[in-house]
Amino acid sequence: MTGTTDPTATLVTPEVEVWWEQGGKLVDFALGNAYSVTSYLNLIISLTGWNPIEEAQKSLGGDWEGLLKAAKAVENLASFNTAYSDAIDEAMKNIDSSWRGNAATSADSYFSKLTAAIDGQVEPLSLISNTIASFAWEAFGIAQAIQALLLELGDLVIKWVLTQAAVESRIVV
């Protein structure tokens, strides 16, 4: 396989988007959660091992990280098909110079059809990968909207409770 990529090198375990692990969470906090009392309460509760906001996000918004991994896995499969087809073409070029006759013609015809079939799968796999990734980003948006809604509702409840407590303390005094 000189000159071609080893097809198996493209079949790697998909990882969640690097941006989320390397700063997306910090940006998410800075843009919306830093001023939310509910966010800090949720952080304290999450120290017990239960994160109610995250649970609601997953229940209502879905597993967007899992969807992104699935999209990447399908993308890797498309890359595998391309590399596999290229490896077959490269191998057939090396055989062409030394192999002649009906067997060589039959093998060439077979492998040409095989690589055409493999190449024919690349575009649909890429389309599937893009569709899954699009769905994953929509699920991420829903999860973020759920988080924002819950934090806003929580902050409004806290504000109402504090207002009621202030009103009650004025009546007693």
pLDDT band at residue 173 under the 50/70/90 scheme: very low
Mean pLDDT to the nearest integer, 74-79: 95
109 burial via Cβ count (<10 Å: 0-12, 13-18, 19+): exposed
Task: Give the separation between CA 152 and CA 93, rounded to whole angstroms.
Answer: 64
| pTM for the model | 0.75
**pLDDT tens digits, one per residue of 5-60:** 788 888 888 887 665 665 566 666 666 677 788 888 888 998 999 999 889 988 98
Identify residue 171 by its one-letter amino acid code.
I
